[in-house]
Amino acid sequence: MFVQMRRTVVTEGNAHKVVERFKKNPERPSKVEQREGYIDREVLVKKTRRGDEEVIVLIRWESEEAWKAWEKSPEHIEGHKKKIAEHGGKPPKPDYVISSEGGGYYVQ
C-alpha cells in the first residue's frame, strides 16, 4: 500500500475550508475516488486551542504505480490547469494558507 500525505497549515479559524475541499460525498464520488487503485481518504485536523491550525490529508492507494497513474491522468492534470487559469496563470494559494507540503509513504 502507498499513502499520499498532504500537510497544510492555515491561519486560525480556517481549517474547515481545507476539510471542505477534501470532504467525501457518498452521493457524488470525486474523480480520484473513482480511480483504479484508490482505496480511501482520511482528513485529520490537529487539536488546537488557538493559533494556526493544521490539516493532514491521507490518500491510500493500492500501490505507488496507482498513485502515479492518477497524478499523470488527464482528469488530475485538467483539474490543476483549470485552477491555475482561474488564478491568472499562477497556482492558487489562498491567503489563509501558511504552508503546504506533501510526501509519499509505503505502508510496511
On the question of pLDDT at 105 being above 80, the answer is yes
- For residue 82, the model assigns a pLDDT of 64
In order of their start, the domains of the chain are: 2-106 (3.30.70.100)
DSSP H/E element including 65: helix 64-72
- For residue 86, the model assigns a pLDDT of 66
Beta-strand ranges (E) seen in 24-67 are 38-45, 53-61
Express as a percent the part of the chain with pLDDT over 70: 88
Q: What secondary structure letter does DSSP report for 16?
A: H
Closest C-alpha among 86, 62, 76, 79 to residue 4: 62
